[in-house]
Amino acid sequence: MNVLHALLATVSVAALPGLAIAAPAGGPVRNIVLVHGAFADGSGWKPVTDILTKDGYSVSVVQEPLTSLADDVIATNRILDRQNGPAVLVGHSYGGAVITEAGANPHVASLVYVAAFVPDEGETVISQIKSDPPAADSIAPTADGYLLVDPAKFPADFAADIPLADARFMALSQVPWNSKIVSTPITAPAWKAKPVYGIVATQDRMINPNLERSMYRRAKAKVTEIKGSHAVFISQPRAVANVIEQAARESR
């Protein structure tokens, strides 16, 4: 009975957000939270995670459902609330919109945008795309209101600099993206209050590199340009990890 009581007590405490794990103030940032973008899942972060873990960081990967911006922010906050201290919050592609909202979480010390959208208050993903369209035109709707990249065009548009077999598998395993998300406005951009770092993928076909540059400039980000496709976090993991580690060091 004592064991049962102890187990129930543990579950009860863990179920209360913010009580199970508190975030101490100050100190070096050793926690990294990674957020994937549209048409992908968290497994794409494995090369970056392997590097960060080897370098002594504690890494968490968010598996957001891509069903709505609100759902994806909730999924991100669920992971942030479990951090045992301050964290660098990293978003790729549409994940940039997610971290823009979720970055208000008190555990977040800084934000890193990897070939990502950086919307302002009232802006949407689609409004940013229309302001400076990308080279790719391979996204199409499904019958039930989701979006997917044409599998035949996926390797060239999304992941031109990774092995073709891997890119083809990513095309087959891509996660449908609810089309309502692209027109959901941002309400409270965290980048206005926290340090920002941005990575431009100079060969990106899914987001125009010039749009990445202008969004980062507006957010007053420290910018690093990396020669790579939209999947730069897979093709150039060391370079991407370097920027994340820079954010961790400078966000003490």
Share of the chain above pLDDT 70, in %: 89
pLDDT tens per residue, range 170-216: 999 999 999 999 999 999 999 999 999 999 999 999 999 999 999 99
Residue 179, classed as helix, strand or coil, is: helix
The pLDDT value recorded for residue 28 is 79
Residue 18 has pLDDT above 50, yes or no: no
Is 15 a member of any domain?
no
In angstroms, the CA 103 to CA 110 distance is 8
Retrieve residue 52's tokens. Answer: 């960060």
Q: Sign of dihedral through CA atoms 27, 95, 76, 54? A: negative
In angstroms, the CA 199 to CA 239 distance is 10
For the segment 86-111, the average pLDDT, to the nearest whole number, is 98
Check: CB of residue 97 under 8 Å from CB of residue 234: no
Is 105 a member of any domain?
yes
Number of domains, the chain: 1
The pLDDT value recorded for residue 10 is 35
For the segment 110-127, the average pLDDT, to the nearest whole number, is 98
The pLDDT value recorded for residue 21 is 38
Of the candidates 32, 40, 100, the one whose C-alpha atom is nearest the C-alpha of residue 229 is 40
Pairing of strands 146-149, 222-226: unpaired
In angstroms, the CA 54 to CA 67 distance is 33
Of the candidates 224, 231, 222, the one whose C-alpha atom is nearest the C-alpha of residue 250 is 222
Is 18 a member of any domain?
no
Check: CB of residue 207 under 8 Å from CB of residue 118: no
Place of tokens 């940032």: 29
Is 206 a member of any domain?
yes
Average confidence score pLDDT of the chain:
91
Is 235 a member of any domain?
yes
Amino acid, res. 128:
Q
Q: Long-range pairs for 150-154 at CB < 8 Å and ≥24 separation? A: 154/39
Give the CATH number of the domain where residue 206 resides. Answer: 3.40.50.1820
Kindly indicate the confidence band of residue 94, based on its pLDDT and cuts at 50, 70 and 90: very high
Residue 4 has pLDDT above 70, yes or no: no
The pLDDT value recorded for residue 244 is 98
Q: Which segments within the chain are labelled E, that is strand? A: 31-35, 58-62, 87-92, 108-114, 139-141, 146-149, 177-178, 196-201, 222-226
Kindly indicate the confidence band of residue 252, based on its pLDDT and cuts at 50, 70 and 90: confident
The pLDDT value recorded for residue 14 is 39
Structural domain boundaries enclosing 154: 29-250
Is 16 a member of any domain?
no
For the segment 109-120, the average pLDDT, to the nearest whole number, is 98
For the segment 107-127, the average pLDDT, to the nearest whole number, is 98
Of the candidates 144, 221, 215, the one whose C-alpha atom is nearest the C-alpha of residue 186 is 215
Is 14 a member of any domain?
no
CB atoms within 10 A of CB 15: 9
Check: CB of residue 130 under 8 Å from CB of residue 219: no
pLDDT tens per residue, range 225-236: 999 999 999 999
Retrieve residue 109's tokens. Answer: 């010390």
Check: CB of residue 66 under 8 Å from CB of residue 38: yes
Is 5 a member of any domain?
no
The pLDDT value recorded for residue 27 is 67
Residue 19 has pLDDT above 90, yes or no: no
